[in-house]
Amino acid sequence: MDTSYTEIVKVLQDYFDGFYASDVEKLKGVFHPNCHLMSAADGQLVDDDMDAVYTRVASRTPPAAENQKRLDRVLSIDKSGPEAALAKVQIAIGPRLYTDYLNILQIDGRWQIVSKIYTYVPIAVETAQSQAAE
C-alpha cells in the first residue's frame, strides 16, 4: 500500500503548525538544510537560505500567540514518481495570505521540502474576493 500521500500531508501539517507557532525545531523537521525560499512578490528576487528563514521565524510573534485565524489549506499535491512531489498550499502569517509551491523529495526514507517559491496578497483582499465569489 502506497502511504506517500499520507506522509506528505503529515509534512505539510508540520509545515503549517511550525509557522503558526513559530516553532523552528518543527520547521527543521520538514525543510532540507539546503532548501531556499524564493519570491519576486515585490518585483525583485528574494532568495533566503534556511538560516535566514529560521532567524526571521524565531524573531517574530507567533500567529498562535495572537490567536490569528488559521487559513491553512492544501490546494494540490502532484506526485510525479516514488520520490518527488509538488505541493501547492496557502498559509496566513500576519496580514498576508501566502501561496506556496513546495518541491518535496523523499530522501533517506523521509519526505523533505527542498525548495519553495511563494507569493502573497493582503488577507483583506483574499477575504473580499472569497466573499464576492459566494
Say how far apart CA 76 and CA 87 lie, in whole Å: 6
pLDDT band at 125 (very low <50, low <70, confident <90, very high): low
The region that residue 38 occupies, defined by phi over 0 for left and psi between -120 and 50 for alpha, beta otherwise, is: beta
**Residue 17 confidence (pLDDT) above 70:** yes
Local structure of 73: helix, strand or coil: strand
Residues 47-103 have pLDDT tens digits of: 999 999 999 999 999 999 999 999 999 999 999 989 999 999 999 999 999 999 999
Q: How many CB atoms lie within 10 A of CB 16?
A: 21
Query: What's 94's DSSP letter?
Result: T
Domain boundaries, the chain: 4-133
Give residue 124's pLDDT: 80
Cell numbers 523533505 correspond to: 112
**Residue 132 confidence (pLDDT) above 90:** no
Q: Which long-range contacts (CB under 8 A, 24 or more apart) does 1-4 make?
A: 4/79, 4/82, 4/85, 4/106, 4/111
Fold exhibited by the domain 4-133 = Nuclear Transport Factor 2; Chain: A, (3.10.450)
Query: What's 3's DSSP letter?
Result: -
Q: Which amino acid makes up residue 93?
A: I
Residues 21-36 have pLDDT tens digits of: 999 999 999 999 999 9
Give residue 28's pLDDT: 98
Give residue 81's pLDDT: 87
pLDDT band at 129 (very low <50, low <70, confident <90, very high): low
Write out the H or E segment, with its range, that includes residue 53. helix 50-59
Q: How many CB atoms lie within 10 A of CB 47?
A: 10
**Residue 121 confidence (pLDDT) above 80:** yes
Give residue 3's pLDDT: 87
Say how far apart CA 64 and CA 92 lie, in whole Å: 11
